[in-house]
Amino acid sequence: MCMTIYEELLDDIDSSDIKLVYDKSTQIPAVSFSNANGDYIFLNEYSFETNAERFVALAHEKGHCDSGAFYNIHTPLITREICEHRAWRRAILDQLPFDKLMEAFEICKTEDGISIYDLANYLDMPPDFIKMAIEQYIKLGKQIL
Amino acid sequence: MNNLKQLRKQRGISQKYLANELNVAQNTISQWELGTRDIDSETLKTLVNYFGVSADYLLGNTDNPAPPGAKKSAQDDISLDEVEFALFGEVRELTEDDKEELLRMARRMRELDELKKEKDKDK
C-alpha cells in the first residue's frame, strides 16, 4: 500500500536527528525547539482536521530545524518573520520541489486551465501551501507554465 | 501508595504514552500505579530520571520530590530566556499561556534528553 506524504514525512523525521513528540495536551498546534542535544518538534495532531494540514505544519517545523531558523522570547517580531520565511522556504523546497509542482501542473491541466483545488487534491496538500510554493518559485525566477 | 499516577497526570501523559516510552505494556503501568505489581529496580531508576524526582518520592515514602543532592529541580532551572523555539502560525506577541506551554515543553524536552543520556549510558 502506498504511503501518504504525511506518513512519508513522519518516516523522514523518524530517520533524522529530529525528535518528534506528540503532545495532545497543548493549545499550541506545533512548535519546534533547538537545544544543545538537538532539535525537537512538538505536535498536537488533534489541532488539525486533516492530514494535509498536519503535513504542512510538520513540514514547516522541520523547515525550522533544517535551516536553524529559531528565535527566543526577546526576538523582535520582524526577525521572527524572517525565521518563519526561511522555514517556509525550506519546507517548500524539500516537500514540493519545482519539478514535482510542474509534474502536477501537467497532470491537472485541462482545457479551462489549472485549478488550485485540483492541484491540492492531486498533491494531497492544502491549496494555501501550493499557492505559497508557486509564489516562491516565481520569486526565484522559475518559469511557471 | 506510590506517586507514579500523580506524576504522570502532572506531566499530562497517558498510560499508553508512558508504556511506549518505557517499552513496557500499558497494563504494567496500570499495575504499578495500583500497587499490585512492584517496580523493579532498573525501571525505578529509569522512572526517577524520567520524572526528575527521588525514588522515595516516586514510591510514596516521602512528600519531598527532590532527588537527593539536587540543588534545583529540573523544573526550577529552566528559563525561557535560554530556550530557542519556533511557533507554528501567524507571528504574534506571545501570551502568558504560550510562555507557560513553552516552558512545560522545554522541561519535557530536558526530561527526554536526560532519559536518552541514561539509556545511552546503559548500552
Structure confidence by residue, pLDDT tens digits, B82-119 = 899 999 999 999 999 999 999 999 999 999 998 888 88
Note whether B83 contacts A19, CB cutoff 8 Å: no
Which of B12, B85, B105 shows the shortest C-beta gap to A70?
B85
The helix (H) or strand (E) run that includes residue A6 is helix A5-14
Per-residue burial over A17-50, b = 16 or more CB atoms within 10 Å of its CB, e = otherwise: ebbbbebeebebbbbbbbbeeebbbbbbbebbee
Note whether B97 contacts A27, CB cutoff 8 Å: yes
HEC profile of chain B:
CCCHHHHHHHCCCCHHHHHHHHCCCHHHHHHHHHCCCCCCHHHHHHHHHHHCCCHHHHCCCCCCCCCCCCCCCCCCCCCHHHCEEEECCCCCCCCHHHHHHHHHHHHHHHHHHHHHHHHHHHC
Return the residue in B84, B97, B107 with the most chain A beta carbons within 10 A, the one to mutate for interface testing. B84
Q: How confident is the model at residue B69 (pLDDT cuts 50, 70, 90)?
A: low
Cα–Cα distance, A90 to A86 (Å, whole number): 6
Tell me which residue of B26, B24, B25, B6 sits closest to B15, measured CA to CA.
Answer: B26
Give the predicted TM-score (pTM) of the model: 0.71
Digit-coded pLDDT (tens) for A67-110: 999 999 989 999 999 999 999 999 999 999 999 999 999 999 99
Q: How confident is the model at residue A115 (pLDDT cuts 50, 70, 90)?
A: very high
Contacts of A26 in chain B (CB under 8 A): 101, 104-105
Kindly tell me if the per-residue pLDDT of B38 is higher than 50.
yes
Amino acid at residue number A28: I
The neighbouring-strand residues paired with A21 are: A42
Kindly tell me if the per-residue pLDDT of A31 is higher than 60.
yes
Note whether B92 contacts A60, CB cutoff 8 Å: no
Is B97 an 8 Å CB contact of chain A? yes
Kindly tell me if the per-residue pLDDT of B10 is higher than 60.
yes
